[in-house]
Amino acid sequence: MGDYETELKVAKFEVFVTEITQKMEAVKGSWFFKLLGVFYDIENVNDYAKIIMKKAYFGYVDGDFEAFYEGDYRNGAQLSYSNTNKRIEATKCIASYCKKNGNCKRVGYHLIFWALMVLAVDKTDASKHLSEICAVAKMIGITDEEMMDIVHIIKCLYLIKYRPYRDYNKSNYWLRKAAEEGDLDCMRALSNRYNNGCFGLPENHLDSYRWGNKYASGDGKVYKAYGEMSVSP
C-alpha cells in the first residue's frame, strides 16, 4: 500500500481491533493460540482481516493443541489452514474443550465473534465461510439466539463505534437503516444524536423523541440473516 489515506485507514482499524481485544477477557490457561485458521487462510484474506487474525488470541489449557500448528504458536503462528485433516481435528478439539464447562465455552464465543468480524470486512467466499462458522457454532453448543446476539454486537461495533475519518454521512445512513430494521441500540443512538445535534445530525427534538419512543417501546426485531453484515473500513 503506497496510498497514505489507505494506510491511515488500516492503522485506525488496527487500533479499533486492539481496543476490542484488550477489553475481551480471555479464558485463563497455560497456552494461548490463534484459532481463526480453522476458517480462514491468512495468506488469502485482505489487510483488515489479516489484522484481526493476527490480533485475536484464545486461552487454552491443553498443551497438545500445538500439534495443529505448522510453526511455533508462541511466535504468532496461525493454525494450519492448508491441512484439511488438521483443521477438522482442531475444530473437534475446540468443540470438546468448550463443552467442558461454562468458562471454557467463552473460548467458543470469542472464536465465533472474531470469525464473524473477519467475515464483516472480507466477503471473499462469504457463503462458504458463513456455513462453516455456523456449523462450528452448533458443535460448540452456541444457540441461534446467541448467534444473533454476537451478530448484533458486531453491527453495533461497526455502525456506532468505528467511524473511519468520521464519515458521519455513511455512519448515519447505516445507523438509520439498522434502526428501521428494528435494532434497538441503533434507535437509541439515533435518538441521542438528534437530541444533542452531533455526529453529523442536526439537533431535532422531534426525531429524537420519535426514535427514543421506539427504543423505549421495545419495537425491535431479531436479525434473521447472518450474512447481512457488511462493512467497508
Q: Which domain holds residue 199?
A: 167-228
Whether residues 36 and 82 share a domain: the answer is yes
pLDDT band at 231 (very low <50, low <70, confident <90, very high): very low
The model's pTM is 0.65
Is residue 195 within 8 A of residue 205, CB to CB? The reply is yes
In a domain, 161, yes or no: no
Whether residues 137 and 215 share a domain: the answer is no
Whether residues 222 and 125 share a domain: the answer is no
C-alpha cell of residue 189: 443512538
Q: Distance of CA 6 to CAs 2, 70, 123, Å? A: 8, 32, 19
Whether residues 27 and 127 share a domain: the answer is yes
Whether residues 120 and 213 share a domain: the answer is no
Q: Taking the CA atoms of the chain, what radius of gyration do you get in angstroms? A: 19
Quick: pLDDT tens for 192-212: 888 878 777 888 888 888 888
Whether residues 131 and 195 share a domain: the answer is no
Quick: pLDDT tens for 70-86: 655 555 566 667 778 88
